Amino acid sequence: MNKAIRRMAVAAIILMLALMANSTYIQAFRAEELNAKNGNRRVTDSQFSVNRGPITVGNGNTAIAASVPSDDRFEYLRTYPGAGNYAHLTGYYSFVFGRSGIEQSQNAALNGTDPSLVFRRVLDVVTKKRQQGASVKLTIDPRAQAAAIKGLKGKKGAVVAIDPKTGKILASVSMPSYDPNLLAGHDIDKVQAAWNRLNADKDKPMLNRAERELYPPGSTFKLVTAAAALSSGKYTPESQVDSPAVLNLPQSTATLPNQNGRNCGGSNRATILVALRESCNTAFGVLGMELGPEALREQAEKFGFGERHLPEIGAVASRFPEDPNAPQVAQSAIGQFDVRSTPLQMAMVVAGIANKGEVMKPYLVSEITTPDLKTISETKPESLHQAVSPEVAEQLNRMMVDVVKNGTGKPAQIDGIEVAGKTGTAQTSKDRPPYAWFVSYAPANDPQVAVAVVVEDAGVARDDISGGRLAAPIAKDVMEAVLNR
């Protein structure tokens, strides 16, 4: 054998070994990843012949996504009995466009291929039963969800409600919504047309505003600023700060006015308690500059800013600006400049205050069970951060109760129940209306539910937009639904 032939033989052997190694690697280590990819038609074809498990809510395990027999080339059709009421949570299961939401993150359990179901699959083969997926139960309280949907009807916005003690998501609504049944059909032309229509809609019905949209939180962020101040040990709720009608910002010709154009509490100096009650921009602008950006950022991060929560539905991280100068710090302290938050994150802020300063990790999937109702997995409450001490949490609680009793949050009052809350009106640009916010929890002495509401557009005059007027009544209804009032 001459030298050239030997080289070719060695090269061929090396290529063959590389091919074998790559094939082994793909089959041993990447098979599950590749099978899970949207757009894998071979896998999709086989999975549409599986009785996919339901997604349920409530004590009665009401199905909000289920598979029913189909009389076409696929054996099952995915249906969504709640239509758009849970669309941003369940997501869609589509032959054309793949999966999203819980349909995507819990796909292995729903289609029965999760490793925890291997014994069940073997049993099905032995007994000649068709493969059936597991059931995924969500933490959602249907009454709270319905109240949030009703409150947001005709508006753009979002509501998130949390159990402060556990982190369970009790309601998550984004409006406008869409009907995932339109994308689950087997008529490809109709599905494609629905997809094009939904994506062309200027109101963005497929956007999950509750967990995936970032808004300036406006005055609701003053709770974070107040938490940083009280945690520093230099301030109490009775500490006085400058509170003129208009604050001249340093290093700038810009000013920061109070929304009503007056000083705070009838004086150029006011306590932090009064400043929160009346939502005074100037007082919190001064407070923010005295604390500095690092203190504000650290406090925001203790509440969960900068972290991604609820990975099961792809929630995004809220943010505090990296290196703001003094005027920008003043704006940031009132939830403006480049501070951006999801409604989920602001619900976590008030839930943390309600839970004696401890922020619980939010979760949406309660448990996963086999078709014969045996539990495969169950989510346990998990602490995320101690945002403030119990003593500071109690001070904030007292201040937030005062906001609802005597201040801008009066529309959230519930007969016989003490409510803690904070309003917010976040400015955006001159060509669009401000965002109306309200965050709250109840009962204040034993919190069972924490809520964040943002109304992006209610179709009302600009002067009629405020957190107390637009968002607080929605939060009240959601709290009452959870408390069975």
Burial 120-155 (b: 16+ CB within 10 A, else e): bbeebeeeeeebbbbbbbbbbbbbbbbbbbebbeeb
Residue 223 half-sphere exposure, CB side, CA atoms within 13 Å?
A: 38
- Alpha carbon 218 to chain centroid distance? 18
The residue that leads in pLDDT, 260 or 168, is: 168
Q: Give the start-end residues of each E strand in 10-61.
A: 55-57
Residue with tokens 């999966």: 99
Please compute the mean of the pLDDT values over residues 133-144 and round it to a whole number. 97
Kindly state whether residue 170 falls inside one of the protein's structural domains: no
Candidate from 51-60, 127-136, 149-158, 362-371 with smallest mean pLDDT: 127-136
**Closest Cα to residue 441, out of 411, 480, 406?**
480
Please compute the mean of the pLDDT values over residues 192-208 and round it to a whole number. 98
Catalytic annotation on 219?
yes
Kindly state whether residue 164 falls inside one of the protein's structural domains: no
- Which range has the top average pLDDT, 65-74, 444-453, 461-470? 444-453
Residue 12 CA to residue 150 CA, distance in Å, equals 68
Global pTM reads 0.89
Please give the mean pLDDT across all residues of the chain. 90
Going by their DSSP bridges, the two strands 269-271 and 375-378 should be labelled as unpaired
Residue 432 CA to residue 353 CA, distance in Å, equals 32
Kindly state whether residue 80 falls inside one of the protein's structural domains: no
Instruction: Please report, for the domain that includes residue 388, its CATH number.
Output: 3.40.710.10
Kindly state whether residue 455 falls inside one of the protein's structural domains: yes
Q: What is the pLDDT of residues 211-235, one digit of tens each?
A: 999 999 999 999 999 999 999 999 9
Collapse the DSSP code of 204 into the 3-class scheme (helix H, G, I; strand E, B; otherwise coil) and give the result: coil
Burial 460-472 (b: 16+ CB within 10 A, else e): eeeeebbbbbbbb
Cβ neighbours of residue 259 under 8 Å, at least 6 residues apart?
A: 279, 281, 425
Kindly state whether residue 101 falls inside one of the protein's structural domains: no
Residue 264 half-sphere exposure, CB side, CA atoms within 13 Å?
A: 29
Residue with tokens 């709720």: 237
Q: What is the largest CA-CA distance in the chain?
A: 102
Kindly state whether residue 84 falls inside one of the protein's structural domains: no
Amino acid (one-letter) located at 448: Q
Rounded-to-5 percentages of helix, strand, coil across the chain: 40, 20, 40
**Cross-strand pairs, 51:** 132
**Closest Cα to residue 216, out of 337, 299, 307?**
337
Going by their DSSP bridges, the two strands 76-79 and 169-175 should be labelled as unpaired
Phi, psi of 430 (to 5 degrees): -65, -20
Kindly state the percentage of the chain with pLDDT values over 90.
75
Amino acid (one-letter) located at 62: T
- Domain hosting 233: range is 218-483
DSSP H helical ranges for 26-131: 31-36, 41-47, 87-90, 101-105, 107-110, 118-126
Confidence of residue 72 (pLDDT cuts 50, 70, 90): confident
Task: Provide the domain count of the chain.
Answer: 2
Amino acid (one-letter) located at 330: A
CA dihedral for 173, 176, 182, 188, sign (positive or negative): negative
Please compute the mean of the pLDDT values over residues 17-44 and round it to a whole number. 59
Report whether pLDDT(295) > 70. Answer: yes
- Cβ proximity of 166 and 380 under 8 Å: no
Confidence of residue 431 (pLDDT cuts 50, 70, 90): confident
Report whether pLDDT(379) > 90. Answer: yes
Kindly state whether residue 459 falls inside one of the protein's structural domains: yes
Residue 52 CA to residue 64 CA, distance in Å, equals 13
Q: How many secondary structure helices (H) and strands (E) does the chain include?
A: 18, 19
Please compute the mean of the pLDDT values over residues 293-315 and round it to a whole number. 97
| Active-site position among 67, 219, 243, 318 | 219
**Closest Cα to residue 209, out of 334, 341, 64?**
341
Q: How far apart are the first and last CA of the chain?
A: 92
